[in-house]
Amino acid sequence: MFEKLSKNAQTAATVAALAGASFGAEGKADASLIRDINNDPQHQLLGSNYLVGGSALAATGGGTVSFRVNVPGVGTGQRNASAILLNDSYAITAYHNVADLLQYNPTFEIATGPNYLNNRGTVRSIAEIIPYPGGGFNDPSLPDVCILRLAEPLTGVQAAVFGSVNVGDFCVGAGFGRHGSPATGLLPRDGNVRGFFAPLLGPSTTPYNPNFYSSTDFDPIVANPLNGKPMSGDSGGGVYTLDGRLAGMWVGGTTGTAASGTGVYLRFDGEVGSYIQNTIPSPGAAVTLLVGAVFGISARRRR
């Protein structure tokens, strides 16, 4: 069953349940889960290479960061997911990470550290969220992405370089989700970034529009302990080519205790990537894009 990797919440009670699951839900203790726990240090090391300034991105720039939605008075007051830094002033995340919480007037921030709980690194508030025209919150036929404008630039950030993955090739996923491989059950969220390898199956199938989305494979038989798929919390995290170019962003996949499954990512080698690159200013450029916009959701937003 396909699901978005950060569940949607329509009521305060649902938000509370979601936030609690981020820290306390324990999963099935079977052999596959034990294997995953044993591999966690490898997943964390791989993921850390795709943080801002990580070794895998030395020649290409950008980087995966943690993303936080602060919703005081709703549940535990917080939702944590993933995002991708594009340059010194802009990032992106999955629109479904924020859309269902906008009614609560939340605030948002990204952080560059390897753990969003106890090692957050440099934190930046988000001054504006710009959804893709038309929005893709509950419509898998549309791109599930929004641009994040930082309230204050980060220094020394090299702009991300976009790329693509061919069918059959491995890509690298990075995010602050539950775990990387194998994706069985739900582990407690420890806040660490993780990475994993995933071979590209090709354009995604129903319900995701193949013009925008691609699917990756997960099979524990693959002779690579870091083979895996994204899980809850990885939404908004980066999908990279093996040479560090940004190929897309995680938005969904199959969940549960199945021994195999798929991940879904929004591709950046076509219309969506062109939109992003044409919308944000280049690194260090004067920010003239949003003159007259007020703090919060841009007037570009259309539901």
- Per-position pLDDT tens, the chain of length 303: 446 765 433 322 222 222 222 222 233 344 565 566 666 788 899 999 999 999 999 999 999 999 999 998 877 789 999 999 999 999 999 999 999 999 899 999 999 999 999 999 999 999 999 999 887 788 899 999 999 999 999 998 999 999 999 999 999 999 998 765 554 455 667 899 999 999 999 999 878 999 999 999 887 666 677 888 888 899 999 999 999 999 999 999 876 555 677 899 999 999 999 999 899 876 544 333 332 222 334 433 332
C-alpha radius of gyration, the chain, whole number: 17
Residue ranges, CATH 2.40.10.10, the chain: 27-49+161-267, 59-160+271-297
Angstrom distance (rounded) from CA 285 to CA 302: 27
Its CATH class, for the domain covering 59-160+271-297, is mainly beta
Which burial class, exposed, middle or buried, applies to 117 when counting CB atoms under 10 A from its CB (0-12, 13-18, 19+)? middle
**Contacts for 237 with CB less than 8 Å, ≥ 6 apart:** 64, 82, 83, 84, 173, 174, 175, 176, 177, 230, 249, 250
Tracing tokens 């036929």 back to the chain, one arrives at 141
The number of helix segments (H) and strand segments (E) in the chain equals 3, 14
**Protein fold of 27-49+161-267:** Thrombin, subunit H (2.40.10)
- Tell me the pTM: 0.84
Nearest to 112 by CA among 147, 83, 135: 83
Alpha carbon dihedral 2, 235, 179, 160, in 10-degree steps, equals: 130
